[in-house]
Each structure stands twice: as structure tokens, then as C-alpha cells.
Amino acid sequence: MSMIRFLGHSAFHVSAPGLEGLIDPFLKGNDQAVVQPGDFSSLTHLFVTHGHWDHIGDTIELGLKTGATVVANAELCRYFSGKGLKTHPMYIGGWVPFPFGRVKFVPAMHGSGIMEGDQAVYGGIAVGIVLEVGKFRIYHAGDTGLTAEMGLLEALKIDLALLPIGGCYVMDIPDALRALEMIRPRRVVPMHYNTFPGIEAAPEEFLEALPEWTVGIRLDPGQSLQF
């Protein structure tokens, strides 16, 4: 049995044969989070879409504790390997095989700098992540504005899209609805809203506006769906 569980903000836990993974594991300091780094004792992979604090989150602590491999862009992987973590660098490009399936990085329109003290460390460019777990394809958009590149994703036949809707730093609801028309996923879950000031959004407004050819699912932190 495979499942994906929402951990609040843009953080998700994906469990499947060969995979105990977290995506953008922002838990400490995330008021929505219902789990904390201490709740995870064995993880295989940590996927990080970009270098902002609300996406790197607890990656370093979790990676050191569990030995999980960080899967991220090349510059972020350099940063994490400098912290003693195992890494698997890749970039926007083709499919890369993993024990659980395949991973493909796709464009996101966003920054990726890492704030360390009062310094900004260059973190490459932000990505979206397509996880092919068995035959199931999950698209985690990361942080992104609406961008025409999303039109390339329809060909990937996404089963489940995780789209930011909170605006300000990412798509708002009207933009996410336009993105959906390009991506054409079978199911969609909204994320990246109501976690901190500036990204207030009503997920029910997004779900009520969905076209009939897709299924919208509201996941509250801690809730999961099976695939």
C-alpha cells in the first residue's frame, strides 16, 4: 500500500515500496505541522524543491538522524553535503531512476537562495518535482508563479498535482486554476496557504471552482490519501 500524507504548508510524506520520503520537510516552526522531526526514525529520501527556509525546513536534522539521501538541485546538494548529508544532485531534465520508481525535475518560476545568518547562499534555481512511484505520478509544484512551462506537464499524465494557492510568493487561486488547465492532472490538492501572513487563501474556494474533469481533495495536516 502506498500513501501520501500532508504535513502542512508544502510538506508531504510519501510512503511506498522502496520509499519513505519527505518533500519540503518544514516541520519545526510550522504551526500547521502535526508531526515533528522526532517522529521520523527511518527515512530513505528528502526531496527539496528550493532553498527557502519554509522548504528546507528540517532537512539537515532529518538527514543527519536518518541517513536519508537529499534529492535536490546541484547547488543545494553541495550545500547539504557540506553539512554532512548524503545527496543525489539532479536538475531540470530527464527522468532519473530510483529504487521506488523515477524522479524528474521540472521548471518552477521562483528563487532558491538559502538564508544563513545574514548571508544569502546561492541555491541554484527552484524546481518542481515529478515523482513516479510505481505507476503513480505525483507533481509537487514547489513554490512557483503561473508559468507557460506548465503546459509541458500535460504530456506527463500527472495522477496527483500538489499546487500552491496562497499568492504573494506563489500562485493565487485564479493562477492555480489556470495552471490546472495546462497540467490536466487527475487529482489536485492545494498547498502553501494560511501558514504565515501574506499567503491567506480559502482552499474551498479553489476546490469549488475546479472543472469537472479533475478531482479536488482538501487534505488537512495529518490527512493522507492512498494510491
Residues lying near Ni ion in the complex (CB under 5 A) are found at: 52, 143
Near Mn ion by CB under 5 A: residue from 24, 58, 75, 143: 143
Q: How far is the CB of 9 from Ni ion (least distance, A)?
A: 11
**CA–CA separation, 186 vs 35, rounded Å?**
28
**CA–CA separation, 84 vs 198, rounded Å?**
34
Among candidate residues 79, 7, 15, the one with its CA nearest the CA of residue 42: 15
Residue (143 or 175) nearer to Ni ion, CB: 143
Residue (193 or 227) nearer to Mn ion, CB: 193
Interface region with Mn ion, contact rule CB under 5 A, candidates 82-90, 115-123, 137-145, 183-191: 137-145
- For 94, counting Cβ atoms within 10 Å of its Cβ (0-12 exposed, 13-18 middle, 19+ buried), the class is exposed
132 binds Mn ion (CB under 5 A): no
Among candidate residues 127, 208, 22, 108, the one with its CA nearest the CA of residue 188: 208
Residue (80 or 98) nearer to Ni ion, CB: 80
User: Residue 75: which of Mn ion, Ni ion, none does it interact with, CB under 5 to 8 A by kind?
Assistant: none
What residues does 218 pair with on adjacent strands?
A: none
54 binds Mn ion (CB under 5 A): yes
Residue (132 or 143) nearer to Ni ion, CB: 143
Backbone angles phi, psi at 183, to 5 degrees: -80, -35
**CA–CA separation, 77 vs 69, rounded Å?**
10
The alpha carbon of residue 159 and the mean position of all alpha carbons in its chain are separated, in whole angstroms, by: 15
24 binds Mn ion (CB under 5 A): no
Residue (54 or 58) nearer to Mn ion, CB: 54
Number of residues that bind Mn ion (CB under 5 A): 2
Sole residue written with cell 550545500: 79
Interface region with Mn ion, contact rule CB under 5 A, candidates 36-44, 51-59, 77-85, 126-134: 51-59
Contacts with Mn ion by CB under 5 A lie at 54, 143
